[in-house]
Amino acid sequence: MESWFKPISDGHKVFYPWGNLCKRGYVVGSERDYGRLRRQINLWIGIATVSTIGAFRLQGYLAACATVVVSLAFYFLWMRRVVRKLSPYTAPQSPL
């Protein structure tokens, strides 16, 4: 979870939906929103992991790969919806 959320100086958290892959962040409005989003992501990770392992055990590699693709597609669409409600984060520029 460390790559998804970073604290900033005003006490808010910045959410990076793609972790270290993309540096575009969004400010999470409150601690309550932060806690809810963090729990939802943990739930998604758990469900995606268990379903992928289950698909592999029951049907093999192809089913596990299909499950991963579906899980990532869900995450992509879900994050598009989530970030619409958040403000984009612009890091303060350091003086030269």
Q: Is the pLDDT of residue 1 over 90?
A: no
| Total residue count of the chain as it appears in this document | 96
* Residues of the domain holding 22: 5-89
> How many CA atoms lie within 13 Å of 63's alpha carbon, on the beta-carbon side?
11
Residue 96 located in a structural domain: no
Residue 94 located in a structural domain: no
Residue 95 located in a structural domain: no
Q: Per the structure, how many domains does the chain have?
A: 1
The pTM (predicted TM-score) of the whole model is 0.83
What's the pLDDT tens digit per position in 12-42?
999 999 887 888 899 998 999 999 999 999 9
DSSP strand E in the chain: where? 5-7, 13-15, 25-28, 87-89
